[in-house]
Structure 1
Amino acid sequence: MGFTVTRRAQSLVGPSGATPSETLRLSIIDRVAGLRHLVRSLHVFARSRDRTATATESESESEPARAIRGALGEALVRYYPFAGRFVEGADGEVRVECNGEGVFFTEAAGNCSLEEVRYLDHPMAIHQDQLLPDPTPEIDPINLPLMLQVTEFTCGGFVVGLVSVHTIADGLGAGQLVNAIGELARGLARPTVEPIWARELIPSPPKLPPGPPPVFPTFKLQYYTTDLSPAHVNKVKAQYFESVGQRCSTFDVAIAKAWQARTRAIQLGPDEQVRVCFFANTRHLLPKDREPAGFGFGFGFGFGFYGNCFYPVTVTATSRRVAMGELIEVVRIIREAKARLPGQFAKWAVGDFEEDPYELSFTYDSLFVSDWTRLGFLEVDYGWGPPVHVMPFAYYQFMAVAIIGAPPAPQKGTRLMTQCVEKDHLQAFQDELKTFSSDASA
């Protein structure tokens, strides 16, 4: 049977109330050239409960697409930069023109139930492009901070296709926004978290003299997804605690296993350097004396801040050390790098660095890891319960990537979504990860 999606309506959704008309400067992190790209994801909702319509909405208006569209307009009153456009000033610096033009929004319908397409579990029975917004030709997606598509299925469930430009928000910031939309869709008078722009409070150290333009190589990276069993992960955690006397996280174990499996699969020379890079949230490391008055809520600066606020933590070791060592030793390398984060970020903030840590190099010996389990997407509720599945698509042929997520509910464990090896290395990579998968014995 052919499963299809029909787009029923497309429009621009602007703020439902008055908003400032201004042009906002972005932080030095926002303006990192590599962040000017589209982050795409699908959020699958099984509609696990009926939604109670408020006194001001009819039954038809309480359907997912209409409810989310209305809540989006409300949310944009506070998050009004998302309704603007990226523009380039005379100095070449990208800014946000807050003109209220709006978010590109699509209402669509699928001709099947979510159960028939396995809640979009891999492999997908409906191509992702049908579930993500497809703007009209006169719209350049890279200039729109945000686009949404809500696809309703015959079972009453729905999928939210989210496309955002990383320049305006990091993962935590995007998660904060969609949670605010969910709260407003459920009838809350205002979001729990009050957003702040405050980009001027991000450190802005002196930039190094410009070097050569970045090189974006083209690899033929293969997509592969597997689920790591809780039993295996917990076993490594216990071994690490017994060996070191400290605890490690699921993230530490997952990133260590992915890095080791990939290093073994690509078979570089034993003394060649391999790298893994992940992007650590640094909101808690910003100076507390720079916190905007009235926005701390007792949590320090960063509570409500939705801009890019992270530091690239790069871990480097020889291929031999990663491939041949015990997994708990690879975990130790990663945790030692995480422990250096406060000092490295503090040095960067005052310009004490020889190489810009945000100028990344994309080579086959490097693995980039993103953790989607702590961004808030798994807690979003538009009135029918949280998502049963969240699928990110942050993949590029110049960047070997592993994304840590969760399998569809009610399954337990950790999902590893990768596009990080070429075809010649894929089977070896799969074989290494199978020793850690959910269907293997602990």
Structure 2
Amino acid sequence: FDGVGTRQFLKAIGEIARGYNQSSIPPIWCRAEMPIKQQDSNPNNSPIPPPSSSSALMTLQRKFIDIPPHQITKMMNKLINQKCSTFDVLVAKLWRSKLRAIKTNPDVPAQLAFEIETSCGKVVNGSFSEVVELIQDAKRGLASEFNAWVSGGCKAKDMKLSYVKIIVNDWTSIRFEDVDYGWGTAMSMILVEDVPLLPTCLFTKTPKLLNGVRSVTSCVKEEYMEEFINQLNNFDD
């Protein structure tokens, strides 16, 4: 269902591969805890079409960027009297760097999934603190919004793909690296399935940098990669 459950599942397979009779954490289903959502929007059970997209997004470039802890601390120090997580500042930095690099019209709506929508101008020209606050506001509303969606009281979000949209995943605390199939734990983890149609960023642990974060991004086209990296490395603004 989520990253934590996936890690637990893979860990159990690893234990079976290493000769365990059963996994160290037995599965607990609790299926009755999830309310049944009405499917009125698709009464005939017809296939739901995939999100619309553009072939222009096929040229997105993948880049591995290791962010050391002192740079994360520097970003956090920019926020006065504002508590935040490592995730908050990393996403804010990534989002702003990407939009500044591609020089999008400031009036164009920019989406960050999980469920944030604002104008490109607010992300590009606003203060770093304001961008972090946008992310924190969205996080605070996630639980109630999900419950409303399950109960049928909230419509599904727009699934249209666009170049200014970014899907972010954070694996830094899930510990996929601990999965052992019999030959030791992993040095690092990445997504095997590449989705070139969708601008994405995955945060993982760095293989050799304690408390650092590895950003695996596929969110800009090749011609904007140099400027994207320059923006990511600029900690003065």
Q: TM over 0.5: same fold?
A: yes
Q: Residues of 1 paired with 2:209 and 2:105: CA distance?
A: 42
**Partner residue, 2:6:** 174
Q: 1:321/1:179 Cα in 2 relative to 1: closer, same or farther (>3 Å)?
A: same
The one-letter code matched in structure 2 to 1:348 is W
The one-letter code matched in structure 2 to 1:216 is S
1:238-387 alignment runs, 5 A limit:
238-240=77-79, 242-244=80-82, 246=83, 248-277=84-113, 313-353=114-154, 355-357=155-157, 360-382=159-181, 385-387=184-186
Contact residue 180 and residue 193 of structure 1 kept, 8 A: yes
Q: What's the CA shift for 1:208?
A: 5.3
SS of the residue corresponding to residue 111 of structure 2 reads strand
Q: 1:403/1:221 Cα in 2 relative to 1: closer, same or farther (>3 Å)?
A: same
Q: Residues of 2 paired with 1:368 and 1:252: CA distance?
A: 14
Matched, 1:193 2:25: yes
Question: Percentage identity across aligned positions?
Answer: 31
Q: Residues of 1 paired with 2:48 and 2:16: CA distance?
A: 47
Contact residue 256 and residue 331 of structure 1 kept, 8 A: yes
1:155-198 superposed Cα distances (whole Å, 9 cap, x missing partner): xxxxxxxxxxxxxx543222111211333455555322211344
Q: Residues of 1 paired with 2:48 and 2:172: CA distance?
A: 36
Q: 1:386/1:199 Cα in 2 relative to 1: closer, same or farther (>3 Å)?
A: same
Q: Residues of 2 paired with 1:208 and 1:255: CA distance?
A: 35
Matched, 1:216 2:53: yes
Contact residue 388 and residue 408 of structure 1 kept, 8 A: yes
Match of 1:406 among 205, 209, 232: 205
Q: 1:396/1:185 Cα in 2 relative to 1: closer, same or farther (>3 Å)?
A: closer
Report the structure, 1 or 2, having the larger strand content. Answer: 1
Q: 1:423/1:408 Cα in 2 relative to 1: closer, same or farther (>3 Å)?
A: same
The one-letter code matched in structure 1 to 2:71 is H
Q: What's the CA shift for 1:212?
A: 8.2
**Partner residue, 2:216:** 417
Q: Residues of 2 paired with 1:250 and 1:183: CA distance?
A: 32
SS of the residue corresponding to residue 122 of structure 2 reads helix
Q: 1:204/1:265 Cα in 2 relative to 1: closer, same or farther (>3 Å)?
A: farther
SS of the residue corresponding to residue 116 of structure 2 reads strand
SS of the residue corresponding to residue 257 of structure 1 reads helix
Q: State the Cα RMSD in Å.
A: 2.6
Q: Residues of 2 paired with 1:256 and 1:207: CA distance?
A: 35
Q: Which has the higher contact order (CA 8 A, sep 6+)?
A: 2
For structure 1, the 5+ residue unaligned runs are 1-168, 278-312
Q: What's the CA shift for 1:258?
A: 0.8
Contact residue 176 and residue 376 of structure 1 kept, 8 A: no
Q: What's the CA shift for 1:393?
A: 3.1
Q: 1:360/1:384 Cα in 2 relative to 1: closer, same or farther (>3 Å)?
A: same
Q: 1:387/1:393 Cα in 2 relative to 1: closer, same or farther (>3 Å)?
A: same
Report the structure, 1 or 2, having the larger helix content. Answer: 2
Q: Which moved more, 1:368-377 or 1:413-422?
A: 368-377
Contact residue 68 and residue 209 of structure 2 kept, 8 A: no
Matched, 1:231 2:31: no
Q: What's the CA shift for 1:337?
A: 0.5
Contact residue 367 and residue 400 of structure 1 kept, 8 A: yes
The one-letter code matched in structure 2 to 1:180 is A
Q: Residues of 1 paired with 2:20 and 2:67: CA distance?
A: 37
SS of the residue corresponding to residue 390 of structure 1 reads coil
1:25-104 alignment runs, 5 A limit:
none
SS of the residue corresponding to residue 351 of structure 1 reads coil
For structure 2, the 5+ residue unaligned runs are none
Q: Residues of 1 paired with 2:98 and 2:209: CA distance?
A: 29
Contact residue 208 and residue 356 of structure 1 kept, 8 A: no
Contact residue 236 and residue 328 of structure 1 kept, 8 A: no
SS of the residue corresponding to residue 362 of structure 1 reads coil
Q: What's the CA shift for 1:319?
A: 1.0
SS of the residue corresponding to residue 190 of structure 2 reads strand
The one-letter code matched in structure 1 to 2:108 is E
